[in-house]
Structure formats: structure tokens, C-alpha cells
């Protein structure tokens, strides 16, 4: 589901490579930005390909709300649900875009994902990811191998 906060629909498509400045800010493509400046995105350290903190998953408000509702509906007695709650709660942070359209990557998240001087922003239709370029290249190679089976999902 695309971000529908404020009755605005944004699709996150394509791949962008941007520099990361000394304050750890990276430019979000203009077509991915909300017209409402106070929109808070959720950054989550996200595992991929066996790496515990491979990239940052960026959720717009509507996707975060949907995730929170799904998590809230899970049993508190389920150890997997509790593990997921801890992961999302402890490995996430809120972020807004500055006036220049940049998102600030928290220091600990930048270190864990290896994001330093450059970042790759990858559109996932209803959300996007921020990657260290080398880690993205490795993950992308895995994606190519999985693609024939993945296409069967649609």
C-alpha cells in the first residue's frame, strides 16, 4: 500500500545514489517527498542476506501505522511476536526531512549499516531502503538469482 497519509499517494520507485554529508544527511528524491513538511518517517535497522543490520528500511506514516496495528494484534504470549516487538521497538527511530529534503541517519544506524559517504536509496513501491553501496550490490546479486521465482508471486 503506498503512503496515503494526508490523502497523498506516493509510490517509491527507482534507485538513487546520493552523497551523505558530514552530519549523516542524505537527500530523498523530490518525487518521494510528502508535500507536508512535518511527516515523520520510521527508520528500522533491517536484516538482509544474513546480515543483522544490512540496511535501513524507511516506512512512511501509513506503512508504520499498518505495521504497528499488525504487531498489536499479535499474541503477547507468542515468543516470536515478542521478539519482533523488541526488534522493531529497539532498532527504529523517527525522522523528518529537513527543508532541503534530506533525512538524517542516526549515528548508530549509520555505523551498523556501513552508510558513510554515499548511500543507495531503493524504492520498494510502498516504502524504501537506504543502503551502503557495496552492501546493496551484494544484496542486488541475490535478488537477481531469486527473481524467476519471485515473479511467480504476481
pLDDT tens-digit readout, 50-105: 677 899 999 999 999 999 999 999 999 999 999 999 999 999 999 999 999 999 99
Distance CA 119, CA 18 (A): 6
pLDDT tens-digit readout, 106-148: 999 999 999 999 999 999 999 999 999 999 998 888 888 888 8
Nearby residues of 19 by Cβ (< 8 Å), 6 or more positions away = 26, 27, 117, 118, 119
pLDDT confidence bin for 5, thresholds 50/70/90: low
User: What confidence score (pLDDT) does residue 133 get?
Assistant: 97
Q: Decide yes or no: CATH 1.10.150.80 for domain 5-153.
A: no
pLDDT average, residue stretch 16-35: 96
Beta-carbon neighbour count of residue 41 at 10 Å? 22
pLDDT average, residue stretch 39-56: 88
User: What confidence score (pLDDT) does residue 142 get?
Assistant: 84
Residue 6, pLDDT > 60, answer no
Domain ranges within the chain, ordered by starting residue: 5-153
pTM reported for the whole predicted model: 0.90
Amino acid at each position: 500500500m503506498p503512503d496515503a497519509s494526508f490523502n497523498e499517494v506516493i509510490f517509491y520507485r527507482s534507485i538513487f545514489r546520493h552523497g551523505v554529508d558530514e552530519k549523516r544527511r542524505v537527500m530523498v528524491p523530490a518525487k518521494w517527498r510528502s508535500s507536508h513538511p512535518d511527516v515523520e518517517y520510521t527508520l528500522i535497522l533491517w536484516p538482509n542476506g544474513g546480515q543483522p543490520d544490512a540496511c535501513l528500511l524507511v516506512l512512511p506514516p501509513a506503512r508504520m501505522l499498518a505495521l504497528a496495528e499488525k504487531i498489536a494484534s499479535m499474541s503477547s504470549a507468542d515468543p516470536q511476536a515478542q521478539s519482533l516487538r523488541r526488534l522493531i521497538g529497539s532498532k527504529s527511530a523517527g525522522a523528518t526531512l529537513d527543508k532541503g529534503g534530506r533525512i538524517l541517519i542516526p549515528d548508530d544506524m549509520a555505523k551498523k549499516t556501513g552508510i558513510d559517504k554515499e548511500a543507495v536509496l531503493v524504492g520498494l513501491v510502498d516504502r524504501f531502503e537506504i543502503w551502503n553501496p557495496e552492501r546493496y550490490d551484494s544484496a542486488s546479486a541475490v535478488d537477481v538469482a531469486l527473481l524467476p521465482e519471485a515473479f511467480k508471486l504476481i
